[in-house]
Amino acid sequence: MDMTLLLQIPIAAIAAILLYTFIGFIPGTDETSVLVPVTLALVLAGVAPVVVLAFFIAAIVTLNLTNAIPTALVGLPGGVLSTPMMEHSLYLKDKGRAAETIKKMAAGSGIGTIVAIPVSLAIAAAIAQYAETLREYGTLLFVFGAIVLALLGGNRLLSLLAIIPMSLLFQGLISLYRDQGVIPEDGSITVSFFLGITIGPMLVSILQLLNRKTRETLPRRTPATLNISREEMKGQSLSPKNILTKAEAAWTALMSFVTPFLFFLSPVGLTFLLGKASEGRRGSHVDKANRSITAMNGIAHSAYLSGTIIPLLAIGIPLSPVAIGPAQALFNAPPVLSLENNLHHMLSTPEFIAAVVIGALLALAVTYYIAVRYSYQITYFVMRYIPHEAVLGLFVGFILLLAYLDAGVANIFGVLLVGVACGTFNKLGVGYGVQFMTLYASPWIVMNLL
């Protein structure tokens, strides 16, 4: 690796920190919908793979930590991964402990990041010898993954039934494009469909507003008033030793260590299940909430990092919900990257480790300081001056632009169709993981089962 790339890596990491610090403080932003478009744009722009990886790692560390802060301060989930933290965050906020909660979240995130990286690298090295076998049966693994995620989801029966119709939708549109000459006979537009799935729930919500009867049923409210707690935000120690008790640190480290071994499961599910297990039986309600909220932040970071590092370094195909979700553009971004030629094939192990370590530690250092010292000021600025709708509109427009560049005007409507269909399934309980796995499994399903 030359000096130019070594300089670009921290610059990319800092850019990710700046961008996703502000995005993370906006309540309700979905991790996939804000990570994929930007990462994909960098890949398609020809940015060096090692720089893209450093940017992405810094982005997920920053976003996961800053997303948790609105949850503690205003009682609104910053992102999907913050949802399991809502119960304890609201309880601690009502007890006047919002500032303390933010510090514990930041410390838990630090433990999760530091534990997850070496454990994930070790697991990746251990399973790398089976990479060829896993790649050989990659399509079948996607089918198996779709079924497993469907069975682990909230609406199991519908998730299983939805696999076939979604496969027909994806392959039917591709066949139509080929017949009409929109794409070459051997062409594919998987990334566009992936983005359609990403914006699906949001798109359905927006389109519902076009129905007058639906609009009339919506509640009318005066402007919301949010009380942002700022007690004891300044003048406190930054050391995790002075923030966490021994029990909180131990539970967080243990759960962060266990999480990478379950990298193929949903990060939200892991955060909820392992976080609940961290409560323990001893202590007051406040003590249990503190243990759980600290561990949940460590688990969230560990799940995202391991779900990216292990499939990308060891196998080269997206075999985790994180890899097939937010990290998708690192695996497949035609015409630059494909499942046969992506960051797994382009980066040496030292380059991979350098990008991950620099990106993660730089993001952790900067975001940890910001979270402990300036979370009140940033939350106030974002809530007061940056409309949520403007950010979401920016990403929707960006995705439609990428759809046009992928396959012209016809593909804009194709992406809208995928978005409406998959968004409706999502609202009925068919999760992102099932839909993304089905997208990659659909060629095998249509060819062999229908």
Alpha-carbon gap, residue 360 to 363, rounded angstroms: 5
Residue 376: its pLDDT value, please? Answer: 66
Among 316, 308, 322, 321, which Cα is nearest to 355's? 308
**What are the pLDDT digits (tens) for 334-351?**
888 888 888 988 999 999
pLDDT at 316 over 70: yes
**What are the pLDDT digits (tens) for 248-297?**
889 999 999 999 998 877 787 788 778 888 877 777 888 888 888 899 99
Alpha-carbon gap, residue 446 to 165, rounded angstroms: 10
Residue 222 lies in a domain: no
What percent of the chain is predicted at pLDDT more than 70? 88
Residue 226 lies in a domain: no
231 versus 345: the higher-pLDDT residue is: 345
Read off the pLDDT band of 221 (50, 70, 90): low
Alpha-carbon gap, residue 260 to 300, rounded angstroms: 11
CB 204, CB 424: distance < 8 Å? yes
Read off the pLDDT band of 228 (50, 70, 90): low
Residue 227 lies in a domain: no
Residue 225 lies in a domain: no
pLDDT at 229 over 60: no
Among 160, 168, 79, 148, which Cα is nearest to 421's? 168
Residue 239 lies in a domain: yes
pLDDT at 232 over 50: no
Residue 438 lies in a domain: yes
The mean pLDDT of 106-116, rounded to a whole number, is 92
pLDDT at 437 over 90: no
The mean pLDDT of 79-91, rounded to a whole number, is 76
262 versus 90: the higher-pLDDT residue is: 262
Q: The pTM is what? A: 0.74
Read off the pLDDT band of 357 (50, 70, 90): very high
- Residue corresponding to tokens 């590092």: 309
Boundaries of domain holding 383: 3-217+233-449
Residue 28: its pLDDT value, please? Answer: 60
pLDDT at 9 over 80: yes
Query: Residues 233-249, buried b or exposed e (16+ Cβ, 10 A)?
Result: beeeeeebeebbeebbb
191 versus 440: the higher-pLDDT residue is: 440
pLDDT at 434 over 80: yes
* Residue 409 burial (CB count, 10 A): 10
Token duo for residue 396: 């929707």
**What are the pLDDT digits (tens) for 385-400?**
767 677 667 767 777 7
Alpha-carbon gap, residue 251 to 244, rounded angstroms: 11
Domain count, the chain: 1
Among 34, 38, 39, 48, which Cα is nearest to 79's? 34
pLDDT at 436 over 50: yes
The mean pLDDT of 213-241, rounded to a whole number, is 64
Read off the pLDDT band of 60 (50, 70, 90): very high
Residue 224 lies in a domain: no
The mean pLDDT of 6-32, rounded to a whole number, is 84
Beta carbons within 8 Å of 359's beta carbon, 6+ residues apart? 9, 12, 13, 16, 53, 54, 55, 56, 57, 58, 61
Residue 26 lies in a domain: yes
Could you list the beta-strand ranges (E) of 158-257. Answer: none
